[in-house]
Structure 1
Amino acid sequence: MFTKISKISLPILITLGLLITIPINTAAATKVMWGKTELKIGQIGKVTILQDTPLVKIESNGSLTIVRMLKKDEEFRVYSYKGQNSGLYGVGGGSFIQKNTAKVKYETPSKAKLALVSGIKDNTALEVVDIQ
C-alpha cells in the first residue's frame, strides 16, 4: 500500500516543485539602461552633471535651499520641469537641479528606448529591427 502511494505522489511532488521554481514574470527582471541609469516609466529625460552643481529644494516662499552638492559625471532621472528660477529639472523627492548649460546636460530618451520601456510595462515582446 505504501509503495503504491509513493509511486503516485512522488512524481506529483517533483512536478509541483519544478513549477514553483519557474519564473512567473520574466519581463519584470528586464531593465532598459540609458547611460548609467535605468529608464523608468514617467521619466521625461536625464541630466548629466558636467561640473559640481547643487541639488536644491523649493521652500514655501519660492526660494531655493541647497540639499547637497552633485559631483561631475553623475546622472539623474528627470520627471518634471519648472520654468521658475531660470528652469528647474525635477529629479524626484521634491528635489531639483537648476538649468545651467555650462554645468548640466539635459537629454531626452530616444523613441526606441521609450518603446522598450512601454513594451516591458505592457508585458509584450518587442523586436528591435535595424533598418539601413
Structure 2
Amino acid sequence: MRKLSFSLLTVILFFSFSALESEASSQKVMWDGIELKKGQIGRVTMTKSGFSIFKMENGKMVPARHVKKGEVFRVYGIYRDEYTTNYALGANLYAYRSSHRKDGSNEYFQKNLKYETPSKAKLNLLNKR
C-alpha cells in the first residue's frame, strides 16, 4: 500500500511541476504592450511618414511599402555602413536610418526612425522560455 501511495504521489507531483513549467514557458513576455519574440534585439518606431521599408530581391534593396508615422517593427539585426544604419525587420524586410554629415563634420543628424532595445530583465525572461 505504501508503494502504491508513494508512486501515486510521485506521479501527481511530476504532472503538477510539468504543468507549472509549461505554463511559465508559454507566458508571453510583453514590452510596452507588444510581445517580445525570440531573436528580437530591439524595435524601431517610425518618426516620419512617407518613406519606404525595403526588401532584398536579387541582391538589391527594392521598396516594399510606405510606412506611417508611429508604426512599430521588431528588429532582429543591425547592419551599418558609412552613411546608413539598416535594421533587419524579419521576413526579408529592412528599414534604414539615413545619416547625413552636418557641416562636413562627423556628426550625424537626420533620423526617420527611433531604435530602442528591451531591458536586460525582459531579455532574460524571454531566454528562460
What's the TM-score bracket when you normalise by the shorter of the two chains? 0.5 to 0.7
Correspondence 1:106 to 2:104: no
Aligned to 1:89: 87
Mapping 1:6-85, distance limit 5 Å: 25-52=22-49, 53-62=51-60, 64-84=61-81
User: How far apart, in 2, do the equivalents of 1:71 and 1:36 lie?
Assistant: 19
Q: Which structure 1 residue ranges, 5 or more long, are not aligned?
A: 1-18, 122-132
Task: Say what the alpha-carbon RMSD is for the aligned residues.
Answer: 2.2
Deviation at 1:93, TM superposition (A): 0.7
Q: Calculate percent identity across the aligned residue pairs.
A: 38
Following the alignment from structure 2 to structure 1, what is the Cα–Cα distance between the partners of residues 35 and 84? Answer: 28
The answer to which structure has the higher strand fraction is: 2
- Runs of 4 or more, structure 1, over 2 Å off, are 58-62
| Structure 2: tracts of 5 or more residues without a match | 1-14, 99-109
- Give 1:61 deviation, angstroms: 4.3
How many Å separate the matches in 1 of 2:59 and 2:72? 29
Give the residue type in structure 1 aligned to 2:55. K
Number of aligned positions between the proteins: 98
Q: 2:69 is aligned with what amino acid?
A: K
